[in-house]
Amino acid sequence: MIRLNATQWGSIFALFAAFLFSTKAIFIKQAYALSPLVDATVLMALRMASALPFFLLICWLNRHHSRNISTRNWLLLIFAGLMGYYFSSWLDFLGLMFISASLERIILFLYPTLTVLASSVMYRQKLSWLSLFAIALSYGGTVIVMLQEQSNTPHDTYFWLGSSLVFASAVCFAGYLLLTKSLIQHFGSWNFTGLALSIACIGTLTHYSLVTPNPLGLVQQLPVEVLGYGIALGIFVTVLPTLLMAHSIARLGAAQSAMIASIGPILTILLATAFLGEHLNGIQWFGCMLNIVGVMMITLSKNKFSH
């Protein structure tokens, strides 16, 4: 019988988490194609309704960590949860209505560079030449992929709208990450995760209820396949990879887990090719590699680039 050590288990957890995260855009695009009733708000509601019970359970199991927390930190937690996993996700789902799954994943992968840029402004620190080079690589690669896809897109307005929405999603998630470190110190890692994602789920479902005249009636009209994709997004793309990545970080550390997770954009592109009929040409693959190399330089050298 093969026995795995903590490092090997951490690597396996990170790899599986990266794969599950990579299926998100595939499920979303396939759900959009099934019914005109499906939009970003509907699909987000299905996702979060499926995930909410699991995150409430995490909150309950870690409820002892929620004592003696200041009102300020509770308010910051609510803001972080709504920004990081409600508004950011909704913008991402909305953007996927207009651009390919491959491009979405590449743009979204820029969030570590946005975190570094925001940190340098907040702490008034100059970025080193190496960090600027890494950022230039990642954004240059992204622009290469975008321009190649844009040249094959009949509706320029929709393309730039979708790209902008996904980039805004990355900005929101970067903002969430900036708040995460201090909040985890107050709430604890698992408790923070459960609370932040529960708040995001509740915010999403509230949004859906307010903008949909007959929320339950609309769900009943959806094809069974769409409901299946919504549940898959909640459990297999939200709950499971979140837990797997947390276990990976506990065993490997954030930097090494991030290095393994960097395979995510490539997995998404391969899945999009297999299931959505998308295709990247040689120039776009080159841009994708520049993006990944630049982002990983930032991620793995965070002590050099951030406060």
Give domain status of residue 16, yes or no: yes
**Confidence grade of residue 89 (pLDDT, cut at 50, 70, 90):** very high
d(CA 306, CA 300): 11
Long-range contacts of 276-279 (CB under 8 A, 24+ apart): 276/26, 276/29, 276/30, 276/100, 276/101, 278/100, 278/101, 278/102
**Residue range(s) defining the domain that contains residue 163:** 6-305
Backbone angles phi, psi at 110, to 5 degrees: -75, -5
- Per the model's pLDDT, the better-predicted residue between 304 and 12 turns out to be 12
pLDDT at 301: 66
Residue 98 resides in a domain: yes
The stretch 46-73 carries a mean pLDDT of 93
Residue 124 falls inside a structural domain = yes
Confidence of residue 173 (pLDDT cuts 50, 70, 90): very high
48 backbone φψ class: left, alpha, beta (φ>0; ψ -120 to 50): alpha
Tokens of 74: 């509770």
State the pLDDT at residue 181. 82
Residue 25 lies in a domain: yes
Per residue in 186-201, pLDDT (tens digit) is: 999 899 999 999 999 9
The pLDDT, as a whole number, for residue 306 is 38
**Res. 305: pLDDT tops 70:** no
The 10s digit of each residue's pLDDT in 30-55 is: 999 999 999 999 999 999 999 999 99
Q: What spatial distance separates the first Cα and last Cα of the chain, rounded to whole Å? A: 45
Q: Is the predicted pLDDT of residue 76 greater than 60, yes or no?
A: yes
User: Which whole number is the average pLDDT over 201-211?
Assistant: 97
Query: Between these two residues, 306 and 111, which has the higher pLDDT value?
Result: 111
In a domain, 1, yes or no: no
What's the structural domain count of the chain? 1
Mean pLDDT, rounded, for 295-306: 65
In a domain, 238, yes or no: yes
pLDDT by residue (tens digit) across 215-257? 999 999 999 999 999 999 999 999 999 999 988 888 888 778 8
- What is the model's pTM? 0.92
The average pLDDT across 178-189 equals 89
pLDDT band at 302 (very low <50, low <70, confident <90, very high): low
Query: Is it the case that residue 303 has pLDDT exceeding 50?
Result: no
Is 295 within a domain? yes
Residue 286 lies in a domain: yes
User: Is residue 307's pLDDT more than 60?
Assistant: no
